Structure 1
């Protein structure tokens, strides 16, 4: 177990370095000049050259990358071009807000998907299976941004029972998930983000559990007199590693792919932060947000791999 964990951690290091190269290069290849967004229309070329020197954009790109990587390894992602605040502080504050709705979507989608997928697998071809399959198809077919707009129209505009945008009357500074006056602002974003993973994980759970239920050892368990619940428990345990893989990927997608949902609901998370950075060409913020989200995704995958090993010891031999 410890040898496998150490090997997986060492394998994550070159992946993380590759992530830094990609996120730095992609941002620099985007059109537009970040310095021009800071200058007034009547600024002289000397002013532009001075700002480029101040922010380090006058150096060759490989040197810029190495200096940025050196600072990033020490926890310094630079200063925002628009707010003059440390990028790390802005990204971590936004990431904590993203985790609020991501964790809520995870708890809702994963629990419902696992329960409905298991029920569908145990009743293949029956009405319960058809209903669960229909829900899964809707989940993987409906775009989350479209669903978010529909939920705003229904629950905020027509019914007026939930707020449409924002993160509470006082913003993220006083947000508490245990206070309904604040938590109600997270309901629509959570519902919107949970639909896609609900459909994907439900289909995966149904397929994995149904495959295990058709194995010979399950027939042997039934022949020995085990009840339906005991047989189903064995099937779920054997299908769990495959389901955990998909759950880990979906958790990473929820954390890193929330830009459209957060923009629709004006939720001050990493997605909303990146959308503002793209519009204003705030390169340090954009690079820092992409780096932190990418490393978060790598970390989640590593944790899922280690959890799979704990659930299924056979993985350690791979």
Structure 2
């Protein structure tokens, strides 16, 4: 087990290096000069040259990358062009908020998807299976932002049951676990949970149906094992695939919630990315993308390790 984990960590290092190269290159291949946002209008060529030198843009790209990577390795992502604050002081609070939202969405989607997927897998071909299948396809197909606006109109405007935007009273950016904060989490979490619920339900349905058709399940039934014990064996054999899907959905929601966070004004990384794009705050944009990409790599590593702990056959593959 330890050797497998160390091997997975070694595989992660070149992936992380490749991600950092892509994040660095994105800023330089984007249209326009990255320094346009801070160069004063009508600045003299000498002043422009001074600014480019101050930000290191006068050096070759490989030198810029190595210098930037060295600062990143020390936790220094530079300063925001708009706020003049360290990038990490902008990214970390937003990342915590996004993790809160994504975790709630994945938890809700996991519970709903697993229950409906197991029911569908046990009742294949019956009306319940058709209903779950249709709901799963609809959930995966519905655009996030459209569903968010519909839920906002129904529950915040028409019924006045839940707040429409923000994360707390008076635009507070601090999340607690009382009702005052949880009520702001419900609508965006439900909006984000629809796609994971649909994907997990389809995955669980297929896995449960496949496990139930295997020879060892027929043997357990022939021996007269109670249905409750057989159900435990089905869940145990389906768990590795479900964990993989759940981990990937959590990682995807970290970077894929930009539209939902913008619709609900949730101060997470998606909201931060949206503002950075429109203000061309490239250090914040670069730092946020890199942090999210690293989290995606880390979550995949954790999922691989957890899968191996649950199903030892993986490390022998």
In the alignment, structure 1 residue 76 sits paired with structure 2 residue 82: no
Cα distance between partner residues in 2 of 1:174 and 1:301 = 28
In the alignment, structure 1 residue 233 sits paired with structure 2 residue 232: yes
Cα distance between partner residues in 2 of 1:23 and 1:240 = 34
What is aligned with 2:59?
59
| Residue pair 2:166, 2:172 contacting (<8 A) in 1 also | no
| Residue pair 1:168, 1:185 contacting (<8 A) in 2 also | yes
Return the TM-score normalized by structure 2: 0.97
| Residue pair 1:189, 1:262 contacting (<8 A) in 2 also | yes
RMSD, matched Cα:
1.3
What is aligned with 1:266?
265
Cα distance between partner residues in 2 of 1:37 and 1:122 = 58
Cα distance between partner residues in 2 of 1:15 and 1:55 = 27
What is aligned with 2:9?
9
Cα distance between partner residues in 2 of 1:226 and 1:170 = 58
| Residue pair 1:97, 1:172 contacting (<8 A) in 2 also | no
CA shift, 1:16, in A, is 0.3
| Residue pair 2:258, 2:270 contacting (<8 A) in 1 also | yes
CA shift, 1:148, in A, is 0.9
In the alignment, structure 1 residue 312 sits paired with structure 2 residue 311: yes
Pairs within 5 Å for 1:172-211: 172-176=172-176, 178-211=177-210
Pairs within 5 Å for 1:1-318: 1-176=1-176, 178-318=177-317
CA shift, 1:170, in A, is 4.3
| Residue pair 1:33, 1:281 contacting (<8 A) in 2 also | no
Secondary structure of the residue aligned to 1:128 is helix
Cα distance between partner residues in 2 of 1:32 and 1:151 = 38
CA shift, 1:44, in A, is 2.6
Q: Deviations over 1:6-35 (max 9, x none)?
A: 000111000000000011101221112232
**Range with greater deviation from structure 2 (159-168 or 282-291):** 159-168
| Residue pair 2:145, 2:263 contacting (<8 A) in 1 also | yes
Equivalent residue pairs, number: 317
Cα distance between partner residues in 2 of 1:103 and 1:250 = 10
| Residue pair 1:4, 1:316 contacting (<8 A) in 2 also | yes
Secondary structure of the residue aligned to 1:174 is coil
**Range with greater deviation from structure 2 (118-127 or 7-16):** 118-127
Cα distance between partner residues in 2 of 1:14 and 1:102 = 27
Q: Deviations over 1:75-113 (max 9, x none)?
A: 111111111111112111110010111111011001111
User: Which sections of structure 1, spanning at least 5 residues, go unmatched?
Assistant: none
Secondary structure of the residue aligned to 1:85 is coil
Cα distance between partner residues in 2 of 1:115 and 1:38 = 53
| Residue pair 1:118, 1:206 contacting (<8 A) in 2 also | yes
| Residue pair 1:35, 1:48 contacting (<8 A) in 2 also | no
Return the TM-score normalized by structure 1: 0.96
